[in-house]
Structure 1
């Protein structure tokens, strides 16, 4: 699930900056997220609640975990892409030549001092591999719920579905949106829901 809306001015590149949530939209978004999660889980009970350590994801995960009496497992590998020198800068102030270099190679390029999409995809794949290696699967104890960010959700989905790194780059996901994938014992994934 994608986190609730952040409290940051429009047009600001905030990536991995730990910006707060928009307090005026938090309660409504959390109510929608709880309803979406309950609807998609049906009778299933989540086994684990994972979250990016960034406040906007962590706060939602803490609220979603309460009805299930679950602890929240924070992992920095679930954080949004780090935009380096562009963090907290207006997009309009970013040097145009740097943006053009990134546009030429969106998979491997990026902001000076920041991460590329390939680097984020690599850390997400490592998180997933570690989670699976620990013997944690939906079959052994219920679904895992992850509260993260649009970029990591798209990149992790592409990885699970065996698509190119940027295969889901343009797939929309709203704040509070839910995506569901299943992963078989063979590691193959299947998309069940996107942005519901």
Structure 2
């Protein structure tokens, strides 16, 4: 074997070693985000942190979710918004759910449980022009929601969970998806989410 062959072998060995050690330090957390099922509320009503129950077809709605999401899996950590419409689904997935207030939906303040048509048009137009930074009267801005959801994510990342399931709301899921995929918040609502929809991400 000549020196050129030896050098090629050494290069291959070094590349293999580098790939191996990089793989040891590359960590991905599997995140399964689930939007709650259909809430029991009339269409056209503004609701965020109001504790709305779910409709009577709940057990039918969750069947596809139960087929796709691991139940009481020892390698999975389960998180949920404490609001009833999320809590009922989370309880079907695990006996050890961790509830976190940072996973609650946007707080619409004085607009909660009002018909959208009954909300002051001037205030509504201002909010719709800049929904990221402007809040509903006595409510929370979307950037505020984003701050708490990303704070939640940053906290659990350092705990080195292998897999996590999060049962939450459309606003929370869009916020986390935007953060992980580096999507501007103004574009985050391009993600359409049906009730009971599942979104899987790696982070």
Q: Is the TM value for this pair above 0.5? A: yes
The equivalent of 1:167 in structure 2 is 187
Task: Indicate the SS of the match to 1:169.
Answer: helix
State the alpha-carbon separation in 1 of the partners of residues 35 and 60 from structure 2.
14
Q: Deviations over 1:90-127 (max 9, x none)?
A: 11100100111011211101211111110000000100
The equivalent of 1:180 in structure 2 is 200
The equivalent of 2:6 in structure 1 is none
Residue of structure 2 aligned with 1:128, choices 153, 172, 176? 153
Q: Which runs of 5+ in 1 are unaligned?
A: 184-196
TM-score normalised by length of structure 1: 0.82
The equivalent of 1:186 in structure 2 is none
State the alpha-carbon separation in 2 of the partners of residues 155 and 167 from structure 1.
10
Q: Deviations over 1:2-42 (max 9, x none)?
A: 0011101111111110011112x20111212112325xx9x
TM-score normalised by length of structure 2: 0.79
Q: Which runs of 5+ in 2 are unaligned?
A: 1-33
Contact residue 12 and residue 90 of structure 1 kept, 8 A? yes
Task: Indicate the SS of the match to 1:18.
Answer: coil
* Bigger RCO (CA 8 Å, 6+ sep): 2
Contact residue 49 and residue 106 of structure 2 kept, 8 A? yes
Contact residue 7 and residue 19 of structure 1 kept, 8 A? yes
Count of residue correspondences? 169
The structure-2 alpha-carbon separation of the partners of 1:57 and 1:158, relative to structure 1 and needing over 3 Å to count, comes to same
The equivalent of 1:187 in structure 2 is none
Q: Deviations over 1:161-185 (max 9, x none)?
A: 11212332121111110001101xx
Residue of structure 2 aligned with 1:60, choices 89, 103, 109? 89
Residue of structure 2 aligned with 1:115, choices 120, 123, 140? 140
How far the C-alpha of 1:72 sits from its partner, in A, is 0.3
State the alpha-carbon separation in 2 of the partners of residues 136 and 4 from structure 1.
29
State the alpha-carbon separation in 1 of the partners of residues 54 and 83 from structure 2.
10
Task: For 1:70-109, list aligned pairs within 5 A.
Answer: 70-109=95-134
